A = this chain, B = another copy of it.
Amino acid sequence: MNKPIPSASPSRGPSDHEVRAQIVEAATEYFSRYGYEKTTVSDLAKEIGFSKAYIYKFFDSKQAIGEVICANRLAAMIAAVSANVDDAHSATEKFRRMFKTLLASGSHLFFQDRKLYDIASVAAASPWPSVKGYEEQIRQLIADILRLGRATGEFERKTPMDEAVNAIFLVMKPYFNPLLLQYNLDAAEEATVQLASLVLRSLAP
């Protein structure tokens, strides 16, 4: 973890991009061990062997680092969902998989990476731009699946797209929003299966 401080000359040391990535990687490990809320940039700097001032050259604040960690994690969740959804053949199956994978990634974050879950939870409460982007991508996934199902004749076409997307987004929200998920973990798996079925009934032509 104690890597040498790169030289100030950009041609000789690692690029800014590399240093940023290095700080984020170290911070991810650090926060997932010690938590996000109770640690400071000084603690982090000490741990990774950089000066606090050097870290501040790359990130304005602890939240700015947290934002990148959160965005990375949420991007990985969306990538997992997309991969799972792409594999499915029908819009119906894609929808079920999306809901299931979102819950699985959220629960994993909650149970396995509890300290990183804390970042996501702080992020969802504000909400940070990364969370807004994540929610936008979920809306996009829902819209794509709806368009497909409308094209194949699996789904009805009468309800305005915006309304259908938003209502489905709201049904799913307690299970993909990190702040809400913690209150909905009881029987969440059965809940999301039943909710997916309800949504699919609402989409019947």
A167 B194 Cβ-Cβ under 8 A: yes
Q: Number of A interface residues at 8 Å Cβ cutoff, please give it.
A: 24
B163 A191 Cβ-Cβ under 8 A: no
How many angstroms from the CA of A180 to the CA of B173 in the assembled complex? Answer: 12
Copies in the complex: 2
A190 to chain B, nearest CB (A): 9
How many angstroms from the CA of A159 to the CA of B198 in the assembled complex? Answer: 9
A53 is an interface residue with CB less than 8 A from chain B: no
Which among B159, B167, B179, B197 is the interface contact of A163 at CB below 8 angstroms?
A: B197
A57 is an interface residue with CB less than 8 A from chain B: no
A174 to chain B, nearest CB (A): 5
Encode contact with B along A132-174: 1 for CB under 8 Å, 0 otherwise.
0000000000000000000000001001000110111011011
With a CB–CB cut-off of 8 A, which chain B residues contact A179? Answer: 183
B194 A166 Cβ-Cβ under 8 A: yes
Contact surface of A with B, Cβ cutoff 8 Å: 156, 159, 163-164, 166-168, 170-171, 173-174, 179-180, 183, 191, 194-195, 197-199, 201-204
Q: List 30 A-B contacts (CB under 8 A).
A: A156-B201, A159-B197, A159-B201, A163-B194, A163-B197, A164-B198, A166-B194, A167-B194, A167-B195, A167-B197, A167-B198, A168-B198, A170-B191, A170-B194, A170-B195, A171-B195, A171-B198, A173-B174, A174-B174, A179-B183, A180-B180, A180-B183, A198-B199, A198-B202, A199-B202, A201-B201, A201-B202, A201-B203, A202-B202, A204-B204
